[in-house]
Amino acid sequence: MIIAAKQAGVFTLFVALVLAFGLGAINQARGEGLPLEIACSQWRPYAFKENSKISGPAYEIVKQVMQRAQLDFTYKIKPWPRVYNNGLSKTNYMIGCLGRTQAREKLFHWIGPVTQGIDIYFYKLKSNPIEINSIAQARQYKIATERDSYRQEFLLAQGFDESNIFPVSTNEQGISMLKLKRYPLYLISERRLQVLSKTKGIDPSIFEKALYGFSVKDYLAIGLNSSSQLVRKVTDAYQQLQAEGKIVLPK
């Protein structure tokens, strides 16, 4: 009887462990049980951290989607190279601000856009007399842009010599260096240049567009190392909100 009771106790413990492991695996596969990590760089005015609070219309879209999907999440502002590389390598890791380009198309699951689309320009100091009328002419100059960004991808795809490309950690740093004439050109959108210049205490009127570069739309995306259940759940939530007219994309 004692042996039978012990065997029954061991069996009960075994079943409990199996069930616990199974439920844990299901929760992990579904992306539930632990807060999802969502990240973006300091992306004024779309998603940014100020006074320990994250704000911006792109952030609000992501928050809506997660609430509709009933998923706990943390949204963090980190340097862009870290955000992008984590998106490529981590499991169930989401990027709240990923530009959708041909080079990235097969590297992520694309949930839905968080902007209407952004035009990217080559900017220079207004006092700089250089004139650029084509990409071919732009290749002759040194140019800076954010490291591991779609702007850097664009330059490489357009045949810019790597020795003429200067990746910077943040756009704030890049704008400051453009002002100091460290290089003649910087690749960025008009709205971000305006907002970041004012944030840095720089008069944005000292800069001007030298040449149009390209257009891009930023998305909420998730790495390929993620469960199909999670991807489906978040995609369904986005599409429901979109169908209800509750996704308002900023310009």
* Beta pairing, strands 207-216 & 185-189: unpaired
Q: What is the DSSP letter of 249?
A: -
* 222 and 111 co-located in one domain: yes
Q: Is residue 186 part of a domain?
A: yes
Domain CATH code at residue 199: 3.40.190.10
Reported confidence tier of residue 127, pLDDT bands at 50, 70, 90: very high
* 88 and 134 co-located in one domain: no
If residue 140 lies in a helix (H) or strand (E), which one and from where to where? none
* 180 and 203 co-located in one domain: yes
Query: 98-113: per-residue pLDDT in tens?
Result: 999 999 999 999 999 9
Q: Is residue 24 part of a domain?
A: no
Q: Is residue 168 part of a domain?
A: yes
CA distance 23 to 20: 5
Residues 6+ apart with CB under 8 A from 133: 211
Query: 176-230: per-residue pLDDT in tens?
Result: 999 999 999 999 999 999 999 988 999 999 999 999 999 999 999 999 999 999 9
Total structural domains in the chain? 2
Domain holding 64, by residue range, is 35-116+218-243
Strand order through the sheet with 73-77: 73-77, 36-40, 93-99, 218-223, 108-113
* 198 and 239 co-located in one domain: no
